[in-house]
Structure 1
Amino acid sequence: MKHGLTNEELQEQVGETLPDRAVLSLVNANIAAPINAALALNVLSDSSVAYANADQYAPVVQGI
């Protein structure tokens, strides 16, 4: 069972330098869309209360 590369195989490998990270990133899209949805319906009932509450806490921290 063969493990690794021989010196000849290693010499045949070709690589190139990558461009800077800023050049690689053509699109930088950060999206945060917290959505609150609360619904209360009070139909055909006398003297009653319909209450809906949706608390939200969605901190968005980002940096470059």
Structure 2
Amino acid sequence: MLDAATTALLRAILEEVCENVSRTDSGVRAHVASKILEAATRGETTRERLKQIGIDALRQGPTMWR
């Protein structure tokens, strides 16, 4: 389980990465969130690295998301 500070960081990164994604587009947001969470669970801790993982997840999603 992640501590409160890490959880807040992950949420902030998700919001930043998905700033141009509609809140109603939950599939895209869930995909990005899961990739960021997986990375944090594996031990990634830097904001820059987690943000890059989120950006990569957004870019690598199905073309229907773009």
TM-score (norm 1): 0.20
Q: Which has the higher helix share?
A: 2
Larger Rg: 1
Name which structure has the greater RCO, CA cutoff 8 Å, separation 6+: 2
TM-score (norm 2): 0.20
